[in-house]
Structure 1
């Protein structure tokens, strides 16, 4: 069983395995801080995604690499948004998505898919079924990250969907550690949604 799950790592450089495990550690921390509505979600997330940008480039997973590069940028944006206060109160508290944001989210989803497809075609990487799923998941995660930066509770729904799809996808690609990471991401995201929902209900009561 162990050999089945991790045999692909026998040809990996030790430093890549160490980097992947380090990224996973900070990724789990980041999702946990997001669940707690704690601003540390962003610095820990930046470490996680910056490491993955490098690893995914090395592994030639361009769509995944683009997602993580986008995460780095959106983490900086989210970090700034979450620090903004008006009369000592968060200017962007936990809230529900607006109709305007739904439209913007749909445009972001379509634009990200178009961008990833273009990159895959340019590098002639649209050759495996995982590339098509990767393109779809990229769109989900792009919108999810944008919504999280703006503290919209619906971000958790997109994370849950994307995480569930990512579990078998990364396993099929041969990255068992990262696949296991997404199992934990899914569990934490479910609790994150429930916790944010509770906070939102307390504010509206």
Structure 2
């Protein structure tokens, strides 16, 4: 009995230690991304590999798959940001799409989320299958928008992070819950910072 209790305590401490390290790396990723530092992507890669383990053990299977995708996107994001910097002759460029294009993207992503939710609800033991599937689908898209340096990626994250706060709190993932509360604030700051940069980038040069 004592051995079992000791094992449970050790497992709990290990899980929360892994969650804490992954959380700190994830926070570093967001702060570096806000500053448009390419070093956000190595932080993201290490964080996602650790979070994949945490999500799988917590039966959040869609999130586990999502973090594997994040690992791949971290590699793509590093390559893409380097390419953008080279194309812009060393300057930090950001981009934006029309609201019509975003609306089409949101509709397609929501449909994909419903399909994923159906699979998770009927063929796996996933908790919060429908809600988790939607955050997964939109997180996939939002991460792609970060890699493309679209200003509005931050607005996607505001909504995603707010929903994730509820899910993670229900699963007693306290570090993650606190992290996503902070994420929501950072996403708002990131949006206004990138939008200001975008507007400055497209403002006419003053006459000399």
In the TM superposition, 1:38-53 aligns within 5 A as 38-53=37-52
Is residue 168–residue 174 contact of structure 2 (8 Å, CA) maintained in 1? yes
Is residue 117–residue 130 contact of structure 2 (8 Å, CA) maintained in 1? no
Is residue 58–residue 171 contact of structure 2 (8 Å, CA) maintained in 1? no
Counterpart pick for 1:159 among 157, 174, 183:
157
Which residue number corresponds to residue 110 of structure 1? Answer: 111
Q: Which structure's CA Rg is the greater one?
A: 2
Is residue 138–residue 156 contact of structure 2 (8 Å, CA) maintained in 1? yes
- Structure 2 portions without partners, runs of 5+: 1-7, 204-208
Q: Distance in 1 between matches of 2:173 and 2:49?
A: 17
Q: Distance in 1 between matches of 2:147 and 2:17?
A: 29
Which residue number corresponds to residue 36 of structure 1? Answer: 35
Which residue number corresponds to residue 16 of structure 2? Answer: 17
Q: Distance in 2 between matches of 1:105 and 1:185?
A: 21
Evaluate the alpha carbon distance shift between residue 113 and residue 93 of structure 1 in structure 2; reply closer, same or farther with a 3 A threshold. Answer: farther
Is residue 59–residue 125 contact of structure 2 (8 Å, CA) maintained in 1? no
- Cα deviation for residue 37 of structure 1 reads 1.0
User: What per-residue deviation string (whole Å, max 9, x for no partner) do you get for residues 53-108 of structure 1?
Assistant: 11111222101111211111112111111011226256x93111255576456434
User: What per-residue deviation string (whole Å, max 9, x for no partner) do you get for residues 105-126 of structure 1?
Assistant: 643453354235324422243x
In the TM superposition, 1:182-197 aligns within 5 A as 182-197=180-195
How many aligned positions are there? 193
Evaluate the alpha carbon distance shift between residue 102 and residue 150 of structure 1 in structure 2; reply closer, same or farther with a 3 A threshold. Answer: farther
How does the TM-score come out when normalised to structure 1?
Answer: 0.84
Is residue 113–residue 139 contact of structure 1 (8 Å, CA) maintained in 2? no
Which residue number corresponds to residue 137 of structure 2? Answer: 139
What value does the CA root-mean-square deviation take over the aligned residues? 2.3
Q: Distance in 1 between matches of 2:16 and 2:156?
A: 28
- Structure 1 portions without partners, runs of 5+: 1-8
Which residue number corresponds to residue 172 of structure 1? Answer: 170
Q: Distance in 2 between matches of 1:193 and 1:87?
A: 21
User: What per-residue deviation string (whole Å, max 9, x for no partner) do you get for residues 107-149 of structure 1?
Assistant: 3453354235324422243xx5x32221221122111111111
